[in-house]
Amino acid sequence: MRKFILSFAILAFTLGAKAQDTKLSVGASIGFPTTSGMSFAYGADLQADFGVAESAAITASAGYLNYSWKGGGNSGFIPLLAGGKFGFGESGMYGHAQIGYGFASRGGGGAFAYAPSLGYNVSDNLDLALKYLAFSKNGVTNGSVNLRVAYKF
The mean pLDDT of 72-87, rounded to a whole number, is 94
In angstroms, the Cα distances linking 116 to 4, 18, 72, 129, 134 are 21, 24, 29, 10, 9
Give me the number of domains the chain comprises.
Answer: 1
What CATH code is carried by the domain that includes residue 39? 2.40.160.20
**Which residue range forms the structural domain that includes residue 134?**
2-152
Confidence check: pLDDT of 67 > 50: yes
User: What is the signed CA dihedral for 66, 7, 141, 114, rounded to 10 degrees?
Assistant: 90
pLDDT tens readout for residues 28-65: 999 999 988 889 999 999 999 999 988 999 999 999 99
User: What is the signed CA dihedral for 146, 49, 16, 6, rounded to 10 degrees?
Assistant: 30
* Side chain identity at residue 27, one-letter code: G
3-class SS letters over 74-122: EEEEEEEEEEEEEECHHHCEEEEEEEEEEEECCCCCEEEEEEEEEEEEC
